[in-house]
Amino acid sequence: MVQIREKDMADGALLAHVLEVRRVVEGTGVLVVVNDRPDLAVLADADGAHVGQDDADPSDARRLIGDARILGVSTHDAAQRRRAVRSAADHCGFGPVFDTATKGLSGIGLRDWPDEDGFPTFAIGGIGPGNVAPLAASGVRRIAVSSALCAADDPEAVARTLLERLRAP
């Protein structure tokens, strides 16, 4: 899944960007999700949207994107995650588990990491090849990664490494 997260891009440019990403991944099975902008997710016919705690309420986002698209919610503590589970969301991000430059937040580690309850939860925040193995050893099976891929000379190699380490016992 590719989440398009462009906080400062003008609407028209963001719409064009989402359409271009959709074109690039067409036929690969990769899902395209738009961060913070369920309205543009619909306009671009993206696969879904993702909202944060300060964005549209998940029920409002769901009404806008419909039932055929996926909806994710960012959560930063156990109470927010419980609300996400009860909401219209299909999955959530939980963290930051490590310090993250993307959002400028300090990591909380795996404190309050949810017991497996069947609700798809992605560890978020500061994750890269050097620290994904301890997450996997702790039972984490889904991660969301930004900086490690965007800053890489070879993002595909980094993605492969992350997957290998996440899948390792």
CA angle 125/141/139 to nearest 5° reads 95
Q: Which two tokens stand for residue 14?
A: 């963001």
Q: Of the listed 74, 81, 146, 165, which one is catalytic?
A: 74
| Active-site residue flag, 7 | no
For the question of residue 5 being annotated catalytic, the response is: yes
Handedness of CA 127, 129, 133, 136 (dihedral sign): positive
Determine which one of 82, 83, 103, 142 is catalytic.
103
Residue 74 annotated among the catalytic residues of the structure: yes
**Sign of the torsion formed by the C-alpha atoms of 78, 81, 85 and 91:** negative
What positions carry a catalytic annotation? 5, 74, 103
